[in-house]
Amino acid sequence: MITPVLYTAQKGKDVFADDARFRTIDSTKNQFKVGWSGVETFSLNSGNSYNWSKTITHNLGYIPQVLAWGYSILDAGSGSVGIDARFSVLPFNDYVLGSPSNKLFVATVEKTTTYVKFKFYEDATTIYGASPRPAYYTLTNMKMKYLVFIDQE
């Protein structure tokens, strides 16, 4: 019995003549399948205690693979923190040292057999003996992109 095969290649590449790495679809391989995806816009401010999270309940029974990217912070000068609108891969943390205080910004991914949680927050702990504790900065129009895959490793 013949098993049908489906191939597609990147634009400008020949699906048979060029190397297999240029194939965008290859039905002979197990390719990641996206179960959930999205782009979220959020703010970190006193109204949400400088924390934001997004939970996706999946009940897959295993821990899925996840890719996520988010905005971070940068030193905006004069002792203030601004948004770095270039996406960084999660998890990450950024540290800004300056006046009036030091700043620690954290983005994490928590994965279980029933949910995936993306978390962004400003850490209010004392950093390297800083006194007083870091001040919070309001960050608006933060963004996160995510993909949750449904295949097991």
Per run of 10 residues, the mean pLDDT along the chain (length 153 residues) is 87 92 87 92 89 95 95 77 90 75 84 96 65 69 95 69
27: Cβ contacts below 8 Å, ≥ 6 apart: 4, 5, 6, 7
CATH class of 32-149: mainly beta
pTM score: 0.77
Residue 53 in tokens: 């999270």
Query: Look-up: residue for tokens 């979220």?
Result: 40
* Sequence spans of domains, the chain: 1-29, 32-149
